Amino acid sequence: MPTQTKQQDIVEAAYRLFKENGFYATGVDLIMREAGVSKRTLYKYFTTKNDLIVAVITHYHTTYQQHLANILEQSNATALEKIALIFEDAATWFDEASFHGCLAINAMGEFYGKNEKIEQACHQFKTWELSLFEQLCRQAETPSPEALAYKLFALLEGMVSLALIDNEHAPVDLTAFARQIIASHQ
């Protein structure tokens, strides 16, 4: 197993702290302490806190992309069944103690109109998510794959927000709801 670099230590410590506390509420001193690095080392890799935030969002994107790839590649499911797997995975995520919402959405909430690089990193993540749904809808040969993908994406994003508001189980099975949306497009 390759040795983790100080830069990776910083990104992973910041990722945990930003998830738990938010971006503005997390200071660089706490990040340095958690990562076990000096201020000089932190600024060697990230000249500003905003640069670190971009790296954390990129890390979050890559980690989630790999997570979903593992789930979808291990399955012999059809494209539509893979969409349901994404929703099932999200429902499991909502029940985890470490769930604090989508880091990209949280970043947009704190930085919209304030930092173009952070917005761009968030936009790239969300564009990828939508394109994954589009790819699966095309593979399933659904009519209007872009429209169906957008509906599924909106449902997933809404689920994330609702999970933050009401940590209890939703009064409806959201995976079943996604299946209903899919069925309405066939």
- Domain residue limits, the chain: 56-183
H or E stretch at 136: helix 116-139
- Which residue type occupies 13? A
- Which residue type occupies 30? L
Nearest to 100 by CA among 12, 167, 31, 32: 167
Residue 99, pLDDT score: 84
Residue 5, pLDDT score: 93
Q: How many CA atoms lie within 13 A of 50 on its CB side?
A: 12
* CATH number of this structure's domain 56-183: 1.10.357.10
Residue 93, pLDDT score: 87
Residue 105, pLDDT score: 94
Q: What is the CA radius of gyration of the chain?
A: 18
Residue 175, pLDDT score: 82
Residue with tokens 């001193």: 29
Q: Per-residue pLDDT tens, the chain, 186 aa: give them.
A: 455 799 999 999 999 999 999 999 999 999 999 999 999 999 999 999 999 999 999 999 999 999 999 999 877 889 999 999 999 999 888 878 788 889 999 999 999 999 999 999 999 999 999 999 999 999 999 989 999 999 999 999 988 888 777 756 556 677 888 888 988 887
